[in-house]
Amino acid sequence: METSSRVRVATYVLRAALGSMYLAHSVVLKIATFGFAGTAQFFVSIGLPAFVAYVTIAAEVVGGILILAGIRVSAVSLTLVPILIGATVVHAPNGWVFNSAGGGWEYPVFLIAMSMVLAVLAWPASPQTRSAVNVAL
């Protein structure tokens, strides 16, 4: 398999994994497990206004769907990074491992890295660049 094909396949796999993760994390954890009110209550308990919880849920759901659909993947991936930075700050005092009490910081940091890699891989190249490297991003 030539390099351009491997890049396309890797981009697709990362897009599917990351888009699914954003969607599931919001729907399963924040909505189904804690509920809208419970998530908002958690945000308030850490000093954030309740509306930030709803913005976060919406951003993760819409972002996950857009990434899965392949729509504006680079922009969406980068737009979700500030949410992950916030999660990192919130979970940092709990230690590194995410399964520690209150969750650790390694999971959001890993997701920041993967979101940035996806943004670079999916960045819309100019037609000249695409033809030069034979990669359709």
Q: Whole-angstrom Cα distance, residue 18 to residue 8? A: 15
pLDDT value at residue 124: 77
Mean pLDDT over 36-62 rounds to 97
Judge whether 44 lies within some domain.
yes
Is residue 22 pLDDT above 60, yes or no?
yes
Judge whether 137 lies within some domain.
no
For 41, the domain range is: 3-129
Q: Which residue has the tokens 């924040």?
A: 30
123: alpha, beta or left, given left = phi > 0 and alpha = psi -120 to 50? beta
Judge whether 25 lies within some domain.
yes
Determine what percent of the chain is predicted with pLDDT higher than 70: 91
Judge whether 117 lies within some domain.
yes
Judge whether 135 lies within some domain.
no
pLDDT value at residue 28: 93
Judge whether 28 lies within some domain.
yes
> Per the structure, how many domains does the chain have?
1
- Positive or negative, the CA dihedral 16, 17, 19, 24 is positive
Is residue 132 pLDDT above 60, yes or no?
no
For residue 101, give Cα distances in angstroms to 9, 27, 77, 92.
37, 22, 28, 12
